[in-house]
Structure formats: structure tokens, C-alpha cells
Amino acid sequence: MKKIKQFFQRTWHWIFITLCLIVIGISCYSEYHAQIEQEHVDREVSNGKLSNQQLHENGILVLCYHRVVNSHLFADKFALALSNNDQLHEYSMPVDKLTYQIHYLKSHGVRIIPMATAIKLIKADKPLKHKYVVLTFDDVDATLASNVYPLFKRLGNIPYTAFIVTSNTGRYDNGTRLATWRQLRKVLKSPNVTIGVHTNNMHYLIDNKPALKYARNYPRFKKDYQKSEKIIKAKTGHRTPYFAYPYGEGTNREQRYLADHGMITFSLDNGIVTPGYDLSQPLPRTMVDDHSWKDVIEKWVNTNATN
């Protein structure tokens, strides 16, 4: 007993240092591991640039926005600082910049069309003479009603689609409030607005991976989807055929299920949709931030089509 005591008296500081090193080692490793997984999600969500062939194509580019803030208001400035989080794929767009982008597209001959028109063009399967853009807004916070709705009305009833997380309306998210059904009702009344679903309550990551990417979540996903359609029907009087994957991705099995239920789905891969596109597959969609605006959108708009 005495020997053991003496041993600890002589070596306790070494034991302490070793334990500290082990703790530091484990936390560094798990931090590194989390970073690798995050990079993996990032890579899958933003699939880089358009191919040379796509740049030279007339077609339909679907754009994805989130929150649109008034950069002159303090509360919105605060939200802007909080929410520009690349990892969560949430990018707040100042309303001035959105206005500039709409003018830019229009002045370069790009036609902004409603989702239903885009789907008709795809199904008609005839070569296109113009470049088209479809505007979509994910998550749908209160700024859709306060900033986008009046702006798009002023600019001549610009058509757009709002993808709603049906169970999350009215909740607080990253510093601002998601739109309530009361706010949405006003927006959805305008004929230029199309509604889509963004799950009922499966918009989250598990270990940095979208919940819908887990095969084991399939039964939950089916229930969640049915619930979201039920809510949309109750609130608007009709179902929607449009579904946007949270973080841009799900499993092949989920995709088959949605396609079998007549759903048209959307990823977050960059790409141009051309006539004849297989609508049983997710349509590519470009998340608009400063990089994609320069590297994808402006480039495509400014390249002469050869088809």
C-alpha cells in the first residue's frame, strides 16, 4: 500500500499530463472528424460550376433564395450577421441586391417564369429560343411577406415559388421569425405565387448529414410528407406537386416515392434544365450567393446559346 502511495506521489503529475494529452487528442480528433463530414455535405450541396455545354444552352435555371433582408433596418442587419452561415446553407440576401439581380436578369433578356410554365416547357420537349429563370424561396421566414411580397408586386408581379416547412411556420429561426400562416395567406393570395413543401418537420441535420439522407428515416419521411400535404390542403384548399429537399438531398427510395406520388422535386446542384428533362429525377437548383451569382448565373446569362 505504501509503495503504491509513493508511486503516485512521484508520478501523479505525469499521469495528469498524460490524461490531459489524451483529452486534447480526443477533442482534436472529433473536431477534425466533424469538419470532414461538414465538407462532405458542402461538396454534395454545391456541385461547382456549369459545364461548357450547359453554359451554351438555352434552358431553365431554377434559383434558390432564403431570407431577404432590408439592410437599412437594424433588426434585419442583425439577422444578416447571424444567418450568413455557409454550413447551414442559409444566405440572407439584402433586398437591394435582389432588386439589382431581377433588373439584371430582365435587362439581359432572361424571362422570369412561374414554376408551372417551366414544367410545361420541359414536358413540351421543344427547343427553347430564350433563357428562363424560376425563382424559389426556401424555409420562408417573415421577410417573404415584409420584403419580397411588396418588392415583387412593385416590379410587376414577378412570379415565384415558396417552399414551406409546414410545421415550422411562426417559429424562431436564427434570429428571425418564420412566416406565420396569417402572413402567408396574404402572400399566397397573389396569383404570381406558387406553394411548395420543404418537409413538414424533417429540416435538420443528424451528425452533419441531412435527416432525409438516412435510409432508416424512410417510414418517418413518408408520414412527414403526407402530413405536409395535409396541412397545405387545409391552409390553401389544394395540394402541391412541388417538393424541395432540405439541404438539397434525400435517398433514391424517397425520390421514387415522391415521383410515384406525382411530385416534382428539387435538389441544390447547379445545372440548367432543358426540354425533355426526366421529371422523375430531382431538378437542379442554384443557391444564390455572391459566388454562384458570379460563377454560375452571370456566366450563363452572358454566354450566347448555340442550341
CB of 74 to Zn ion, least distance (A): 26
Q: Three-class SS of residue 142? A: coil
Of 139 and 229, which CB lies nearer to Zn ion in the complex structure?
139
How many C-beta atoms surround the C-beta of residue 168 within 10 A?
19
CB of 216 to Zn ion, least distance (A): 22
CB of 233 to Zn ion, least distance (A): 21
Q: Please, which of residues 234-263 interact with Zn ion by CB under 5 A?
A: 246
CB of 64 to Zn ion, least distance (A): 9
Could you please report the per-residue DSSP string of 6-49?
HHHHHHHHHHHHHHHHHHHHHHHHHHHHHHHHHHHHHHHHS--P
Of 149 and 266, which CB lies nearer to Zn ion in the complex structure?
266
Of 132 and 245, which CB lies nearer to Zn ion in the complex structure?
245
Residues 146-165 vs Zn ion: string with x where CB under 5 A?
A: --------------------
Angle between helices 218-236 and 181-189 (to 10 degrees): 60
The number of residues that bind Zn ion (CB under 5 A) is 3
Q: Where are the beta strands (DSSP E) in the chain?
A: 60-65, 68-69, 93-94, 111-112, 132-139, 160-164, 172-173, 176-177, 193-197, 205-206, 209-210, 242-244, 264-266, 286-287
Q: Please, which of residues 128-147 interact with Zn ion by CB under 5 A?
A: 138-139
Of 98 and 122, which CB lies nearer to Zn ion in the complex structure?
98
User: Which residues of this protein are in contact with Zn ion, per CB under 5 A?
Assistant: 138-139, 246
